[in-house]
């Protein structure tokens, strides 16, 4: 007797109703469609160094190859002790005290660790302060964990510094943590000493967990100096994130780490929660962990790229210079990372829907940037462009953008 098939509709869970991550959304689908039609698209939308000819340092590759034969078993669920020791030593060298390898967790990218940290922390409705603009994974992961992302403004007029008064105004009894992204994606800001001290002071006054995403900590231009937030907060529970994706141009390796510092005796229960989640995912990819020691202990080849005359330095300069030459476009000079976040003057360009703007630019010029509201920026007047392509390619792209903007109205 033939089974009568009853078709059930499979729907996404309600957990996803508040989760948004536009960086890989509908505009990218359209770009793929254009590619399938034979167009070549310049992708200035994702901070992925490899497609632009950046190679991972050879010593990392060699250490993975050497470690490969010994990597087919599950490793420690928090990560290999040797890799975690390398992370501890790198932070000790930078002046962070009171940490050992039990305070370090390795993840399949910082992304995985962000999810773990928020899932272990948040009850439904708990709030997390996240910058606007942000790296939107923080917002999406907060919502997925049942939390409520609350965005604090960064001020373009002050080199995109977080507005400390806005942070204070947005703290409630439900606020659990504050996210600091320094050097910043998407603005390129690198936070000065006093600002970090002020941010930490707010966290101190309100007893917030500090979550400091420092994945661009070595991609610095000119005189910029990066200071780990944790150094300002020996008396506060702080989690610092970093990884191989950007500084070491190995985003595809999916490898990141985090270190917990500050007074852990009041956080035993939370840390136990993190351990449960670390166990639940069984552990990070083993072979790639062999690259961590070489990365942290070795010569920092990123320096050659960011110093005057270096490839990333030149590309950052040219992007900044050319964007500011377009009427109605202004852009502060990124001090770190691999992005620019220019403003489209609303008095010049009538844009009510910035995702449509990005889609129109894609269709007209076959180039892909990201709309500012994808970074939880509240107005449709910014976009993000990566500074990874070679200067000649950037020049062509920005010329295309200028051409497109000249006649653009919504």
Binding site for ligand PLP (CB under 6 A): 47, 109-111, 135, 181, 185, 213, 215, 243, 245, 251, 256
- Cβ–Cβ < 8 Å for 28, 374: no
* Cα distances (angstroms) measured from residue 42 to each of 55, 134, 186, 321, 369: 19, 23, 19, 20, 9
**Which DSSP letter does residue 377 get?**
-
CA distance 166 to 171: 9
- Cβ–Cβ < 8 Å for 100, 260: no
Work out how close the CB of 47 gets to ligand PLP at its nearest, in angstroms, rounded to a whole number: 5
Work out how close the CB of 9 gets to ligand PLP at its nearest, in angstroms, rounded to a whole number: 33
Which among 388, 380, 392 is positioned nearest to 338, based on CA atoms? 388
Alpha helix segments (H runs only) across 217-300: 268-280, 286-297
Work out how close the CB of 185 gets to ligand PLP at its nearest, in angstroms, rounded to a whole number: 4
Work out how close the CB of 64 gets to ligand PLP at its nearest, in angstroms, rounded to a whole number: 16
Work out how close the CB of 221 gets to ligand PLP at its nearest, in angstroms, rounded to a whole number: 17
Q: Would you say 109 or 262 has its CB closer to ligand PLP?
A: 109
CA distance 133 to 144: 19
Q: Would you say 120 or 288 has its CB closer to ligand PLP?
A: 288
Q: What is the DSSP string of 106-124?
A: EESSHHHHHHHHHHHHPPT
Q: Would you say 47 or 262 has its CB closer to ligand PLP?
A: 47
Work out how close the CB of 187 gets to ligand PLP at its nearest, in angstroms, rounded to a whole number: 11
Q: Would you say 305 or 405 has its CB closer to ligand PLP?
A: 305
First to last CA, the chain: 60
Q: Would you say 215 or 326 has its CB closer to ligand PLP?
A: 215
Q: Would you say 215 or 322 has its CB closer to ligand PLP?
A: 215
């Amino acid at each position: 007797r033939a089974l009568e098939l009853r078709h059930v509709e499979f729907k996404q869970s309600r957990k996803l109703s508040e989760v948004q991550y536009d960086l890989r959304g509908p505009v990218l689908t359209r770009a793929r469609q254009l590619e399938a039609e034979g167009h070549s698209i310049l992708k200035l939308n994702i901070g992925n160094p490899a497609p632009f000819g950046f190679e991972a340092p050879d010593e990392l590759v060699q250490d993975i190859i050497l470690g490969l034969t010994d990597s087919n078993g599950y490793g420690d669920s928090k990560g290999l002790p040797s890799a975690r020791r390398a992370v501890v030593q790198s932070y000790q060298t930078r002046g962070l005290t009171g940490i050992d390898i039990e305070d370090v967790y390795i993840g399949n990218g910082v992304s995985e660790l962000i999810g773990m940290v928020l899932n272990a922390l948040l009850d439904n409705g708990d709030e997390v302060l996240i910058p606007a603009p942000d790296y939107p994974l923080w917002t999406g992961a907060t919502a997925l964990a049942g939390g409520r992302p609350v965005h604090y403004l960064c001020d373009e007029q002050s080199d995109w510094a977080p507005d400390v008064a806005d942070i204070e105004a947005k703290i409630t009894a439900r606020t659990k943590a504050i996210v600091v992204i320094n050097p910043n994606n998407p603005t390129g800001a690198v936070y000065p000493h006093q600002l970090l001290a002020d941010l930490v002071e707010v966290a101190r006054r309100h007893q917030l967990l500090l979550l400091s995403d420092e994945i661009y900590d070595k991609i610095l231009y000119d005189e910029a100096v990066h200071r780990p937030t944790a150094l300002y907060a020996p008396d506060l529970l702080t989690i610092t994130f970093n990884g191989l994706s950007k500084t070491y141009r190995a985003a595809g390796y999916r490898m990141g780490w985090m270190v917990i510092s500050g007074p852990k005796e009041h956080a035993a229960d939370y840390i136990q929660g993190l351990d449960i989640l670390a166990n639940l995912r069984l552990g990070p990819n083993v072979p790639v962990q062999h690259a961590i020691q070489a990365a942290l202990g070795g010569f920092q080849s990123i320096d050659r790229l960011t110093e005057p005359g270096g490839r990333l330095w030149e590309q950052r300069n040219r992007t900044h210079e050319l964007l500011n030459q377009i009427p109605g476009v202004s852009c502060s000079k990124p001090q770190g990372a691999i992005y620019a976040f220019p403003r489209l003057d609303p008095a010049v360009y009538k844009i009510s829907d910035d995702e449509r703007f990005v889609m129109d630019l894609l269709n007209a010029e076959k180039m892909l940037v990201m709309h500012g509201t994808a970074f939880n920026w509240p107005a449709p007047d910014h976009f993000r462009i990566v500074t990874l392509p070679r200067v000649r390619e950037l020049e062509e792209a920005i010329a295309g953008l200028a051409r497109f903007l000249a006649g653009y109205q919504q």
